[in-house]
Structure 1
Amino acid sequence: MNSILGIGKYLYAVPFAIFGFFHMTNAATFNEMIGPPGGVAMIYITGICLLAASVSMLIGKFDKLAAVLLALMLILFALIIHLPNAMNGDAGQLLKDIALAGGALMYASGFARDNSVIG
């Protein structure tokens, strides 16, 4: 059973690497969809952050810090980008980011191996 539960780390971290890759390769498209705030530069920064969080969780180095920062980023996305759409009746992306942030916080509290930065 533990071997099945161990797959969860990969099922959570790998999609963030893919999202980060998509941000890096399709920044102009993301900018058209989202627009401000930040523009294309912020989309690249977001892609780098997603890739870094994914790698950190996969290798277990600074993974607790990465998971907490990922949760913070996802909550900011939910409030800044998706809340206006939710006010117009489309709450799907808002709820997705809140759920992913909750998963990142659960990872940080229960599964992270590196407690060197955040005890």
Structure 2
Amino acid sequence: MDILVLVGRILFAALFLGSAFNHLVHTSGMTAYTASRGVPAAKLATLVSGVVLLLGGLSVLLGIWADLGALLLFIFLIPTAVLMHAFWKEGGSESRQVEMIMFQKDLALAGAALMLFAFFSFAGSDLGLTITGPLFNIS
């Protein structure tokens, strides 16, 4: 089971680490997109979200307080779904559909992150192939 969880952590974290890279390396383009969605303090939001993505992704990937990392990703995903993918504000049917898919993707990933938070917190140190045990203990 440890190997399956490790492979799952790698696959899950890859998406967030790639996004963190884009936020932190392509900041101007990401800031322009964030501003176009009406997010206040777009540059700060882009940088802070990039750091949250990086910390959360690395935490889950490496198994360093993986429960905290999953919680950080959950906290990132909910406002991102609402602020960045507000499909109900879109005028055209094609753009509405694309934003609805992105909104639903973010909600599904938030659900997965929340389940990972519970899983890591509950499994505790019984879960192998991690560097540390969980920060939280929900039993």
TM-score over 0.5 for the pair:
yes
What percentage of aligned pairs have identical amino acids?
27
Show structure 1 runs of 5+ residues with no match: none
Partner of 2:42: 39
Return the alpha-carbon distance in structure 2 between the equivalents of residues 109 and 61 of structure 1.
15
Deviations 1:22-73 (A, max 9, x none): 1001111112222032211210111111010011112222211221221122
- SS of 2:135's partner is coil
Return the alpha-carbon distance in structure 2 between the equivalents of residues 54 and 21 of structure 1.
11
Partner of 1:64: 67
Q: Does 1:19 align with 2:19?
A: yes
- SS of 2:85's partner is helix
Cα distance change on mapping 1:87 and 1:118 into 2, 3 Å: farther
- Contact 1:86–1:92 under 8 Å retained in 2: no
Return the alpha-carbon distance in structure 1 between the equivalents of residues 45 and 23 of structure 2.
10
Say what the alpha-carbon RMSD is for the aligned residues.
2.1
Return the alpha-carbon distance in structure 2 between the equivalents of residues 106 and 87 of structure 1.
30
**What TM-score, normalized by structure 1, do the two folds share?**
0.84
Counting matched residue pairs gives: 118
Partner of 2:136: 117
Return the alpha-carbon distance in structure 2 between the equivalents of residues 42 and 3 of structure 1.
35
Partner of 1:29: 29
Q: Which has the larger radius of gyration?
A: 2
Partner of 2:116: 107
Cα distance change on mapping 1:69 and 1:40 into 2, 3 Å: same
Show structure 2 runs of 5+ residues with no match: 91-95, 125-132
